[in-house]
Structure 1
Amino acid sequence: MLVENGEYWLNNKGDLAMLAVMVRRIAGRWPDGRIGVLTSAPALLTAYEPTVEPIFCQRGGDWPRRSPRARVTGRWGPAATGPLLNGLDAARALPRRIAMRLRRRHPSDDRASEATGVNRRSLHREGGRLPNALGDTDVVIAIGGGYLTDVDRAQTERTLDLLEYATEHGIPTAMVGHGIGPLRDEELLRHAERVLPRVDLIALREGVRGPELLRSLGVPADRVVVTGDDAIELSYATRNAHRGSAIGTCLRVAEYSPVTDGTRTTLGRVLRAEAAERSADLIPLIVSEHAAEDRRSTLPLIEHSPAATPPLGRFASPWALARQVGRCRIVVSGAYHVAVFALAQGIPVVGLSSSRYYDDKFEGLATMFGTGLELVRLDSDDVEDRLRGSISRLWTQAPDLRAPLLEAAACQIDASRAAFEQAATIIDAAVDSGAETTSGRSPISPG
């Protein structure tokens, strides 16, 4: 079973949470199956998920030989082995990174190679860009994320290429826990229109934008379900018996989420003042370690505050982040998955957005939970007043919001599990209907 992870360097604890949930579901459903996960960090992957097999996404990508390294790194865990293994992965990837930089300086070389017929939708061993493991795979599952969108074009193309190959070769496919869009690029839309109607099942994490987009692409309604985010299950399982007392925060500043220096100053001033007024700890909730983006944006907000607590380390697990979130009474976040972790534990959220991309993320999340999330646009003229008002309201309402939020989380977990079982039934039927599997191995057997 080949799992499209979407975040190959394992830099995002939200993506790691979705991966953890899916790996355990797959292993429980098909205990004798092999689970391959596409990655750029094979050594680090074995520390986070010692039962899976790393499939290198860029260099051949064959099914690996079984190795005792997975058991060793898994025993020590990513917090202990992460720095070493991440360095090992980076060293292995260095030659390819240098080659990519050279190609950027000479883009005509890439155009020439495309013109000579190199097909990105072929296996690597056939001169294409897809991992060889795909040719020896019985099932392809693309796990959740917000990467099917204009702002992540490269990953959108990679995922569509992978699914297109699978559907053309009779390999059962499923997409679970996805947030799709905004998607307006005409080339990407044409590619999605060609591929997505052929995917066996698509489970969405929200019902505001995704279903309509899929309908416009010709995806049959009976292949689409709305479940919520798969990471909800992990965070819900870590919930405390009693509500927390801190204010948690995360600010995402990126090309797809621009925030001015003046707005950052305002946000930090408000957070420090609100924490002091309530004698509350200020907890930095770091979810993305890509170029240390959440650390660089979040830690200055609480700097010099006596209420500030230390952040988790770079290689902390998603469970550790969920437990940190559980210490909070409210969360103020510009990162989607921090909000997911909070709402799943009955903790209300002030969502921070400065783009259509994040408007869609938070509005979809708010609809799934029904209450407990207030969206504040960081580019509004009255941002300080809106921030103070939302923090004050949700702090007061937090005790009453806990029960309905937990109930909504439980409902989404049930829906997500049901969608997985639906996908598993489709997969079993497809595999059993053939004389042999795509890979030539014996069909996978359900647990």
Structure 2
Amino acid sequence: MKVLILADVGQGGNNWYHIGDEAMFLRNYNVIKKHYSNSQITLLSRSKSRQGLDIKEEINDLFPRGCVGRLILFISLCVQFLSYHTLHLFLKSKVGEMAKLINRHDLLLISGGGNLNSLFPAYLYNRTIILLLAKMLDKPVIATGQTIGPISNLRDSLLIKIILRHIDRFVLRDRKFSISTIPKSNQYRKRISFSVDDAYFLEYMSDLDISGVVTMGTFNIGISLRDWDSDDLYAKVLLALNHLAKNSGKKLKIYLIPHIFDKDNRCDLEKMRNIFVGKIDCEIVPITYQIISESPSGRPEEVVHALTGLMDIVISSRYHGIIFALSQNIPVVGVYENDYYRAKTEGAFDWINSDTIKKLSIDLNRFSGNGLSIVFLGALKNIDLLKKELVRSNKELLVHKDDIPNLLKALCFWSKK
């Protein structure tokens, strides 16, 4: 069986890398290879990747990068969609190249992410174009691990409706925010199901040995904060961490774990270093590009996932920093500052069947530094209870481990090899 996976993966300039998108793709790749070992996979990616997997071919983005170019393509394709037999008019264009690529495969799988919204319209156009092409060619399409919204205009709302009307299966990873953006009509909701994030049950490609990176015998705190524009947000976290270092009664060690990074250690890590190193009374270890990317024992997303699992507690504004912690029974304080990240953060916590855990989803606009200090210290003092709650809840979530393979099996054309 031939599978085309569309995933927002690949290296950007200066070896720029996004851990969360890679982890979602890797889990979907592993699922397909585990259940359908003879399948042939083609990866349609953002840019050149460092996969090193059993992938037949990798195709980098064929379409224009900007919103305007993709919008023109979308309008043109809508005209074609009204008349299937005129598709040959596009065969020498970029759309034609994409159509040929899709036509060589039996299934299109759109790997998860939070980019179907008005904040990143180019991604929305891209996925709509590819979906319409696949349906013109009568190919089944599944989208997994998705978040929808925010949607701020009628054009983008129309695109979401087009996707939901024509896709075969659409899996939402949050159960409240995304569904509130979708019309209540059954024609838009009948193909929707809900499951945890694609990376929640991430399995490693090989055994990892990163024990030399993390010190045992200290209370280890993982910090994964995105590159905020506001220094006030960092100041609140800094104040709370200083309070924790002085009042916890434990020997703390802080690990700065980036989820977007490059070979010069900019992006997430540069800002966290500037804010925290030398300003908290405990040892701070930046997890650099060299540690993440040059580990001989694992892929970058596996290394970050494994490092997160060695923490005693995590503080994260990164969605997959939260997912990596929750899924490994590591208590996490999730912090956010706007509606987009609120939806992602609360969507992750919503899967945990524990009010105690859910209270650790924090709106930074509603907390002072002192208020955040109380949250951090309370989480540390109740660490054993929080871990027990996560162990119990994650046992309940095991029912979702086979959601993606079950969706694949539900397609009548698919036969297990």
TM-score where L is the length of structure 1 = 0.75
Identity of aligned pairs, percent?
A: 18
Could you tell me which residue of structure 1 aligns to residue 173 of structure 2? 205
SS at match of 1:203: strand
Does residue 155 of the first structure (1) align with residue 123 of the second (2)? yes
Please give the alpha-carbon distance, in whole angstroms, between the structure 1 residues aligned to 2:317 and 2:391.
22
The amino acid of 1:133's aligned partner reads L
Checking the alignment, whether the CA contact within 8 Å between 2:256 and 2:272 is kept in structure 1 is yes
- CA gap 1:216/1:288 in 2 versus in 1, 3 angstroms: farther
SS at match of 1:281: strand
The amino acid of 1:55's aligned partner reads I
SS at match of 1:393: helix
Checking the alignment, whether the CA contact within 8 Å between 1:206 and 1:367 is kept in structure 2 is yes
Please give the alpha-carbon distance, in whole angstroms, between the structure 2 residues aligned to 1:52 and 1:16.
18
- CA gap 1:150/1:244 in 2 versus in 1, 3 angstroms: farther
Could you tell me which residue of structure 1 aligns to residue 93 of structure 2? 127
Please give the alpha-carbon distance, in whole angstroms, between the structure 1 residues aligned to 2:410 and 2:159.
24
Does residue 22 of the first structure (1) align with residue 28 of the second (2)? yes
Could you tell me which residue of structure 1 aligns to residue 141 of structure 2? 173
Could you tell me which residue of structure 2 aligns to residue 186 of structure 1? 154
Once the two structures are superposed, what CA deviation does each residue of 1:165-211 show, in whole Å capped at 9, x if it has no partner?
A: 21232101111111222223211111221221221111221211223
Checking the alignment, whether the CA contact within 8 Å between 1:144 and 1:176 is kept in structure 2 is yes
Matches within 5 A, 1:16-415: 16-42=22-48, 44-47=49-52, 49-51=53-55, 53-58=57-62, 114=72, 119=77, 125-129=91-95, 131=98, 132-216=100-184, 218-219=186-187, 221-234=189-202, 245-253=219-227, 258-277=228-247, 278-289=250-261, 292-304=266-278, 305=280, 306-313=282-289, 315=293, 317-371=300-354, 372-373=357-358, 374-380=360-366, 382-415=367-400
The amino acid of 1:194's aligned partner reads I
Show structure 1 runs of 5+ residues with no match: 60-95, 432-443
Checking the alignment, whether the CA contact within 8 Å between 1:193 and 1:217 is kept in structure 2 is no
Please give the alpha-carbon distance, in whole angstroms, between the structure 1 residues aligned to 2:72 and 2:307.
48
- CA gap 1:170/1:119 in 2 versus in 1, 3 angstroms: closer
Checking the alignment, whether the CA contact within 8 Å between 1:206 and 1:228 is kept in structure 2 is yes
Once the two structures are superposed, what CA deviation does each residue of 1:212-249 show, in whole Å capped at 9, x if it has no partner?
A: 434536545442221111211127999x9x99831111
- How many residues get paired? 377
Could you tell me which residue of structure 2 aligns to residue 423 of structure 1? 407
Please give the alpha-carbon distance, in whole angstroms, between the structure 2 residues aligned to 1:445 and 1:53.
22
Checking the alignment, whether the CA contact within 8 Å between 1:334 and 1:353 is kept in structure 2 is yes
SS at match of 1:309: strand
The amino acid of 2:61's aligned partner reads C
SS at match of 1:184: coil
TM-score where L is the length of structure 2 = 0.80
Please give the alpha-carbon distance, in whole angstroms, between the structure 1 residues aligned to 2:396 and 2:28.
18
- CA gap 1:51/1:394 in 2 versus in 1, 3 angstroms: same
- CA gap 1:194/1:119 in 2 versus in 1, 3 angstroms: closer
Displacement of 1:50 in angstroms is 4.3
- CA gap 1:23/1:235 in 2 versus in 1, 3 angstroms: closer
SS at match of 1:35: strand
Checking the alignment, whether the CA contact within 8 Å between 2:41 and 2:54 is kept in structure 1 is no
Higher relative helix content: 1
Please give the alpha-carbon distance, in whole angstroms, between the structure 1 residues aligned to 2:271 and 2:112.
25
Displacement of 1:289 in angstroms is 2.4
Displacement of 1:409 in angstroms is 3.0
The amino acid of 1:326's aligned partner reads G
Please give the alpha-carbon distance, in whole angstroms, between the structure 1 residues aligned to 2:221 and 2:127.
37
Once the two structures are superposed, what CA deviation does each residue of 1:109-147 show, in whole Å capped at 9, x if it has no partner?
A: x69x949x8659879743244634113221001111111
Displacement of 1:342 in angstroms is 0.7
Does residue 9 of the first structure (1) align with residue 11 of the second (2)? yes
The amino acid of 1:22's aligned partner reads N
Checking the alignment, whether the CA contact within 8 Å between 2:311 and 2:330 is kept in structure 1 is yes
Displacement of 1:36 in angstroms is 1.0
Checking the alignment, whether the CA contact within 8 Å between 2:128 and 2:163 is kept in structure 1 is yes
- CA gap 1:179/1:118 in 2 versus in 1, 3 angstroms: closer
The amino acid of 2:59's aligned partner reads I
The amino acid of 2:365's aligned partner reads D
Displacement of 1:410 in angstroms is 4.0
- CA gap 1:191/1:347 in 2 versus in 1, 3 angstroms: same
- CA gap 1:353/1:302 in 2 versus in 1, 3 angstroms: same
Please give the alpha-carbon distance, in whole angstroms, between the structure 2 residues aligned to 1:333 and 1:421.
30
- CA gap 1:364/1:3 in 2 versus in 1, 3 angstroms: same
Once the two structures are superposed, what CA deviation does each residue of 1:337-357 show, in whole Å capped at 9, x if it has no partner?
A: 101111111122222211100
Once the two structures are superposed, what CA deviation does each residue of 1:256-286 show, in whole Å capped at 9, x if it has no partner?
A: xx54223323322332442354321101111
Please give the alpha-carbon distance, in whole angstroms, between the structure 1 residues aligned to 2:133 and 2:393.
37
Please give the alpha-carbon distance, in whole angstroms, between the structure 2 residues aligned to 1:204 and 1:247.
30
Checking the alignment, whether the CA contact within 8 Å between 2:9 and 2:21 is kept in structure 1 is yes
The amino acid of 1:300's aligned partner reads N
Show structure 2 runs of 5+ residues with no match: 81-86, 294-298
